[in-house]
Amino acid sequence: MDCLFCKIVNGEIPSKIVYEDDLVYSFYDIEPQAPFHILIIPKKHITSALEINDGNKDIVGHIFKVAADIACEHNIAQDGYRLVTNVGKNGGQTVGHMHFHMLGGRNLQWPPG
């Protein structure tokens, strides 16, 4: 499989890790859009939120728990943060592996773009 994020999880491409467990891998975004900008991804390849099913839905719940823990660890929980996943080309998804952007450290405007 020629998936950028799978290669990062497998250590084939270096990343600055934030968190890792059996299900989830998190690392700093290489083009940050906020003072704190990381990606949180499932280690298992799931192309997008459209592929969430009964067999992998618990991973998404775990990602949200990990995100809350990371926000507390990095002192962005109290002021707030944004957690977003893009789905498909028109949704802004550029890597075909489900991932969540966590942005914080500044006032995030709405709508985002």
Distance CA 81, CA 106 (A): 8
- Among residues 96, 40, 95, the alpha carbon closest in space to that of 70 is found at 40
Distance CA 1, CA 45 (A): 10
| Residue 45: active-site member | no
Q: Which of 37, 97, 99, 101 is catalytic?
A: 99
Distance CA 76, CA 74 (A): 6
Token pair of 76 as six digits? 């962005």
Provide the annotated active-site residues.
Answer: 99
